[in-house]
Amino acid sequence: MNKINQLFAKRQGRKLLSLYFCAGCPTLEGTADVIKTLERRGIDMIEVGIPFSDPLADGPVIQSAGTVALKNGMTLRRLFTQLAEIKDEVHIPLVLMGYLNVIMHHGIEPFFQDCVKAGVSGCIIPDLPFSDYMEVVKPIADVYDIRVIMMITPETSEERIRFIDEHTDGFIYMVSSASITGVQSNFNDAKVAYFQHINGMNLRNPRMIGFGISNKQTLESAQDNAAGAIIGSKFVTLLNETRDPDKAMDLLYAALKE
């Protein structure tokens, strides 16, 4: 069974925590250390960002991390090599998050082949049109047992959400707002109402809520209305400041209690 499916099947009501970081930032060779540290510190799933020069869905923190990673020399091919070297040491699901241009340049089938070789369980492609997913990407991903995770936002229609739920597997990435990534101090009543509405749809797939989670209020709000939470910008900021994943985790766990 795919590791993503195993994670949600075995959680038994426990709320999950997933973290995002950009491969190659703050250092080119630090990817393996970050991943192994996060697993050791209790993180359930890791999103590894593939740096790209024009990340449309990302806020300034993650854009900056991508710029640093590219300057450091990070490429998708180098990332696959780094991940393959630690494949047997990592037991939690790894999800690659990157834009379609980079994946198409690599080749769609070679991308999924390399995901298997590197121990990657899923991918998130924010700018992948759903029609292209259904016609081109899904048939190839299914052959290699890689989950393609789709995003929904407060602007996604109920009809589209149910269609996504029917034709995807693993989990649904529930974006807290229609804006770009970035830290938020709280989730207002409108966002909580959106979470509750989706929760009430009784979807087949579990949901993970991301974008803006940085403190106790936003974490608990996400975890109350989904299987768990995804933290990106807050952790990326702390990792860049400390240049030490253990110290960054200490600071993150402290922030999530405030």
| Burial track 66-82 (b if 16+ CB lie within 10 A, e otherwise) | bbbbbebebbbebbbeb
What distance in Å separates the CA atoms of residue 7 and residue 250, rounded to the nearest whole number? Answer: 24
The phi-psi region of residue 204 (left if phi > 0; otherwise alpha if psi is between -120 and 50; otherwise beta) is alpha
Active site residues: 47, 58
End-to-end CA distance of the chain: 37
Alpha carbon distances (Å) from 155 to 102, 114, 158, 179: 26, 34, 9, 10
- Indicate the DSSP class of residue 150: P
What distance in Å separates the CA atoms of residue 41 and residue 35, rounded to the nearest whole number? Answer: 10
Assess contact for 229 and 222: CB atoms under 8 A: yes
| Three-state secondary structure readout of 12-57 | CCCCEEEEEEECCCCCCCCHHHHHHHHHHCCCCEEEEECCCCCCCC
Amino acid at 217: Q
